[in-house]
Amino acid sequence: MKMVIAAMATALAIATATDTLAQAAIEQTLASMSPLQVEQTGETLTVVLPQDRITHPIYTTAIGGVCMALFSDDAALDGIREMRVLNRHAKYGMVAEGGKELCTELNALPVGKEKANALMIVTHTF
């Protein structure tokens, strides 16, 4: 019984450390945007920015920053199925339906209309 508890505690500590490292990688790539909050809850990554309104250019820049985290930490978006970019009040923003697979696809595309279209296909408002 003690070994099972110890194994569960070790697994939890490893998962928490991995999540912390992944979150640190995402926070680092978004540093220039000064996010108020970067949080993963279940399969959702939420980025709260200091703006009152999330415009299309702000949204695409934030998602690009999140996706850049894959270059420094391949596990940065493991388990993420939804990426929210919200305003300072966390009441309005845009949501990308996708995680690591979406970012891998976006990172492979050149900057331009094709990349913007690929992102907007999976985007809805919050």
Q: DSSP for the chain? A: -HHHHHHHHHHHHHHHHHHHHHHHHHHHHTGGG--SEEEEETTEEEEE-S-SS--HHHHHHHHHHHHHHHHH-TTTTTT--EEEEE-TTSSSEEEEE-SHHHHHHHHHSPTTHHHHHHHHHTEEE-
- Of 28, 25, 50, whose CA–CA distance to 37 is shortest? 50
Higher pLDDT, 15 or 28: 28
pLDDT at 75: 86
Q: Which two tokens stand for residue 87?
A: 């305003």
Q: Is the pLDDT of residue 13 over 70?
A: no
**What does the pLDDT read at residue 58?**
96
pLDDT band at residue 7 using 50, 70 and 90 as cut-offs: very low
Per-residue pLDDT tens for 106-117? 999 998 899 999
Q: What is the pLDDT of residues 31-61, one digit of tens each?
A: 999 999 999 999 999 999 999 999 999 999 9
Kindly report the pTM of this predicted structure.
Answer: 0.82
